[in-house]
Amino acid sequence: ALPILVTLTGGDDVGADVLEVDGDGNKVCQEIAREVKLLDALMPMVQMPLLAGMHLNKLSPEMMRVQALVYKAIAQIVNNNRRTEIYFATHNIPARDRYTGSETSISWINACIAQVGDIQESAVTISMILSNNQQLLDEYVDDATINKFIELIGDQGPRPHFMRFFIAICSCNGKQIITNQEIGRASCRERV
């Protein structure tokens, strides 16, 4: 029920599954969640299956729901809250190098991006964080990020959450991000 605490809900949300609740963030609750470091507790939860060597696409339905709920909470905590977006962007989490198996660290943003192919809510969360913040788009969206999404679309088809991510990284506050659009076009041409 945490996503409901940080979300301004309406009558249409009464009795709805928490994952279906929508609405703007409750700014006071978002600020409190950031200050008590709730994100610092939630991010290890989404990273834990990977650190335990589990494959996200093989998680049980119950574990997938836990992942989805945690991502929903994260999304609502950062939803249109610039200070919390920056807080999110400046933190790292332990990760395991998939080639060597050694421990390393990864930014929270890149940890979310790494899970978008398996956890739909990860794409929704990262789109929400990046979509209105030019600074974060410039810093975290590069050729590799765009190519990863194009590869996912090629492998899994044009799923709505992948397409929303592309919209989020190709425009910011109503202005086009030409460089990201060009990278996307070039990558698509290479795959064809």
pLDDT tens digit sequence for 66-79: 999 999 899 889 98
Residues in the chain: 192
Q: What predicted TM-score, i.e. pTM, was given to this entire model?
A: 0.78
Mean pLDDT confidence for 142-156: 81
* Amino acid 39: pLDDT: 95
Mean pLDDT is highest, among 81-95, 101-115, 140-154, for 81-95
Helix count (H) and strand count (E) of the chain?
Answer: 11, 4
Q: Which amino acid is present at 84?
A: T
Q: Decide: residue 26, CB within 10 A, 0-12 exposed, 13-18 middle, 19+ buried.
A: buried
pLDDT confidence tier of residue 187, bands split at 50, 70 and 90: low
Cβ atoms of 19 and 69 closer than 8 Å: yes
* Amino acid 1: pLDDT: 46
